[in-house]
């Protein structure tokens, strides 16, 4: 004889407990997702996203007022267009500009050069060393 504790008499109680657990799980999930998506409502993130207002998804994102609005926008959008994540990330990256005096600047092989339009980065090719010459 097998005894696992499940009986037809206890079935209604088990169904009720499962439904209650599912409801609690949904609530916890919704709260956690709301907190995560709420980051898009912070002033610093919105300031960075302003640069990309010309992108349709970012324009819609900037019009969201609540985490639920963000959820209703981003979840379907991400399913239809996986590139939406890269679009948003492009505008969230922080660009740092460090001002240095030219006399304090000591470049490595990976260097930045001064030129028209500002500074430009490139890799400097290695130049073979010249043999030493003796002066007479």
Residue pair 70/40 in contact (Cβ under 8 Å)? The answer is: yes
pLDDT digits (tens, 9 = 90+) for 58-91: 999 999 999 999 999 999 999 999 899 999 998 8
Phi and psi for 120 in degrees, rounded to 5? Answer: -135, 135
Mean pLDDT value of segment 37-47? 90
For the chain, what are the domain ranges? 11-92
Element of type H or E holding 111: strand 110-115
Cα angle value 100/124/111 (rounded, 5°): 15
Tell me the whole-structure pTM to 2 decimals: 0.55
């Amino acid at each position: 004889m097998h005894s696992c504790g499940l009986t037809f008499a206890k079935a209604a109680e088990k169904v009720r407990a499962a439904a209650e657990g599912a409801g609690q799980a949904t609530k916890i999930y919704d709260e956690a997702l709301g907190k995560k998506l709420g980051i898009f409502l912070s002033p610093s993130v919105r300031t960075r996203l302003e640069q990309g207002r010309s992108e349709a998804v970012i324009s819609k994102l900037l019009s969201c007022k609540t985490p639920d609005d963000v959820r209703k926008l981003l979840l379907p959008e991400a399913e239809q267009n996986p590139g939406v994540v890269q679009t948003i990330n492009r505008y969230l990256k922080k660009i740092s500009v460090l001002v240095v005096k030219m006399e304090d600047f000591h470049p490595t092989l990976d260097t930045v050069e001064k030129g028209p339009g500002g500074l430009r980065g490139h890799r400097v090719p290695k130049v073979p060393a010249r043999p030493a010459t003796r002066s007479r």
